[in-house]
Structure 1
Amino acid sequence: MKKKVAIIMGGYSSEYKISLKSGNVVHDYLDKEKYERYRIHIFKQKWVYVDDVNAEHEVNKDDFSIQVNNEKIVFDCVFNAIHGTPGEDGLMQAYFELLGIPQTSCGYYQAALTFNKRDLLSVLKPYGIKSAPSYYLNLGDEINEDAIIEQVGLPCFVKANKAGSSFGISKVNEKDRLKEAIEFAYKEDDEIIIEGFLDGTEVSVGVIKYKGETKVLPITEIVTENDFFDYEAKYEGKSQEITPARISSRQEKNVIQAAKRAYDVLKMTGFSRSEFIFIGDEPFMLEMNTTPGLTTESILPQQAGEAGISLSELFGGAIEEVLPKNH
């Protein structure tokens, strides 16, 4: 019997378009012989199954089932391809846990923690995971530019605390641009993290559970034409992503150790992709994504390909990890 897999995509944030692309790639590459694949669009105004002729069928939120041709369909597994809320911040994970439906991303606590950049870096610090000097602001807080610059220096990065795909992020070189950058970040979130600029090689490290093992994928070096790895650089070709990264064996060993330690310390499952910048041989963590991009151009699929894992194997492997072992 084929397993029925709901591929959830879309979401409530600025990242929904990228998520739809990721979800469709998962749909297209999942093994049709093993899985019945259902594209489920999750938006604030509707949760719907979109069939092959693009007709929409409402999702029953009571049990996450659908009705197609008078037949009720329940799912064996959910493949989570939502970037941002509610798929990357723990909401969908908690919902599926309550319903007892296996899903491919990490647990709700891990999702909520990693989605909050400030909390993630604070939790990992005692375990030896380094990060840039930082300053936190909540909406309504007094903005003391001198105190901020004293803490993090210039240039610095002003980031929305809970947003992905580089939405709400600015690089600030002069003090008088700080308020403008803060207002820009507040458009995405009511919490802000301001970080000191780390001048070094940026890399992205994918970690997955594959065939029962925690596997660190080949490392990708990020070389951007823009001032930093922003939305244009990520999605509009303004960057080079070089896999494997051109780093020393010591740097490689250190960043593999840091990425795997972060994954294990947090009791992660599913896919994660963490960004680091090297200062000398030491990796400094920027963030961790738990539903990273899954388009054919995205970093994690590139890394899997370098490791000899096809997209079909990557996506199918994630499902096999969470299905009951005697299925």
Structure 2
Amino acid sequence: MKKNIAIIMGGYSSEYLISLKSGSVVYDSLPKDAYNAYCVHIFKDKWVYVADDLKEYPVNKADFSILVEGSKINFDCVFNAIHGSPGEDGTIQAYFELLSIPHTSCGMYQAALTFNKRDCLSALKPYGILMADSYFLNVGDAIAPTAIEKAVGFPCFVKANKAGSSFGITKVYSKADLPKAIEVAFKEDDELIIESFLDGTEVSVGVIRYKGVTTVLPITEIVTDNDFFDYEAKYLGKSQEITPARLSATQEADVRKAAKHIYEVLKLDGFSRSEFIFKDGQPHFLEVNTIPGLTKESILPQQAAQAGISMSDLFDNAIQQALHKNP
């Protein structure tokens, strides 16, 4: 009997358009003989199932069901394609876990931890994971350019602490540029992280649970046409994403080991994509995404394809892993 799968997409953050695209790709790729797939749009003002004819059916938040032409539909599993809040920050994970509905993302605590860049770095530091120097700033804190320069130097990156797709990030070259960069970041979040610039090869490493085994996918090297891997570079074609990355055997082994170690230390599940920059030949960790982009152009599907895993298999496996974890 075919399983009913809700593909949730949209969300409350600046990433909602990217999420809608990811969710649509999942919908188109899932094997139709195994699943009845439903596109569920989740926004602050409405949660609705959007049918192929674009007719909308409200979601009953009490049990996450829908009523379609008089028939109630419950879901066997939820495929989470929401980038940012509430899909990547632990909120939606907690909701589905309370309802005992299997979902394809990691657990509530892991999602909340990894979405908070500052907390994630702090949690990993005792495990010997190399990372950039950093400085934390909250709304209302006094801005001390001299202290920031002493902590991280210039150039540096000013980032929104809880945001993705390079929203709220600026590369800063001098004290004079700090106020504007901080203002931009505070539009996305009330917490910031300011990090030292790491000059080296940037790579992205996908780690997934594939057929019950923690699997490190082929590594992608990021070569941006812009000053850094910003929104334009990620989504508007202003970068090269080279898979497999042009690394030495030692570099590849080191970054694969680090990415798998992070996945296991944090007790992740489902998809993950960790970002690193090589400094002095060693991979330095930047962040981990637990709901990475899932379009055909996105990095993780590219890596899966390099490993011989089709989009259909990639998404089918995620559902099967979730159902196995929560029978």
**TM-score, normalised via structure 2 length:** 0.99
What is the aligned partner in structure 2 of residue 257 from structure 1? Answer: 257
Structure 1 distance, partners of 2:276, 2:291, is 17
What is the aligned partner in structure 1 of residue 299 from structure 2? Answer: 299
Displacement of 1:326 after TM fit?
10
Q: Which runs of 4+ in 1 moved over 2 A?
A: 324-327
Structural mapping, 1:182-197, within 5 Å? 182-197=182-197
Structural mapping, 1:56-95, within 5 Å? 56-95=56-95
Where does the alignment leave 5 or more consecutive residues of structure 1 unmatched? Answer: none
Residues 175/314 of structure 1: CA separation in 2 closer, same or farther (3 Å cut) = same
Task: Give the letter for the 2:199 counterpart.
Answer: D
Task: Give the letter for the 1:231 counterpart.
Answer: Y
Q: Secondary structure at the match of 1:252?
A: helix
2:102–2:326 Cα contact (<8 Å) kept:
no
Residues 295/139 of structure 1: CA separation in 2 closer, same or farther (3 Å cut) = same
Structure 2 distance, partners of 1:326, 1:175, is 51
The answer to whether the aligner puts 1:16 opposite 2:16 as a matched pair is yes
What is the aligned partner in structure 2 of residue 282 from structure 1? Answer: 282
Displacement of 1:38 after TM fit?
0.3
Structure 1 distance, partners of 2:58, 2:101, is 18
Displacement of 1:239 after TM fit?
0.4
RMSD: 0.9
What is the aligned partner in structure 2 of residue 39 from structure 1? Answer: 39
Displacement of 1:182 after TM fit?
0.5
Q: Secondary structure at the match of 2:18?
A: helix
Once the two structures are aligned, what percentage of the paired residues are identical?
71
Where does the alignment leave 5 or more consecutive residues of structure 2 unmatched? Answer: none
Structural mapping, 1:115-130, within 5 Å? 115-130=115-130
2:207–2:215 Cα contact (<8 Å) kept:
yes
What is the aligned partner in structure 1 of residue 110 from structure 2? Answer: 110
Structure 2 distance, partners of 1:204, 1:280, is 18
The answer to whether the aligner puts 1:212 opposite 2:212 as a matched pair is yes
Task: Give the letter for the 1:301 counterpart.
Answer: P
Displacement of 1:128 after TM fit?
1.0
Structural mapping, 1:147-296, within 5 Å? 147-296=147-296
Task: Give the letter for the 1:78 counterpart.
Answer: V
The count of aligned residue pairs is 327
Structure 2 distance, partners of 1:241, 1:121, is 25
Displacement of 1:109 after TM fit?
0.2
2:203–2:222 Cα contact (<8 Å) kept:
yes
Task: Give the letter for the 1:232 counterpart.
Answer: E
Displacement of 1:324 after TM fit?
3.8
Q: Secondary structure at the match of 1:7?
A: strand
**TM-score, normalised via structure 1 length:** 0.99
Displacement of 1:174 after TM fit?
1.4
2:40–2:50 Cα contact (<8 Å) kept:
yes
1:254–1:281 Cα contact (<8 Å) kept:
no
Displacement of 1:281 after TM fit?
2.2
Structure 2 distance, partners of 1:5, 1:281, is 44
Structure 2 distance, partners of 1:80, 1:275, is 21
Displacement of 1:262 after TM fit?
0.4
Q: Over residues 263-287 of structure 1, what are the superposed CA-to-partner deviations in whole Å (9 max), with x where a residue is unaligned?
A: 0001110000010000122111110
Structure 1 distance, partners of 2:325, 2:185, is 44
Residues 326/49 of structure 1: CA separation in 2 closer, same or farther (3 Å cut) = closer
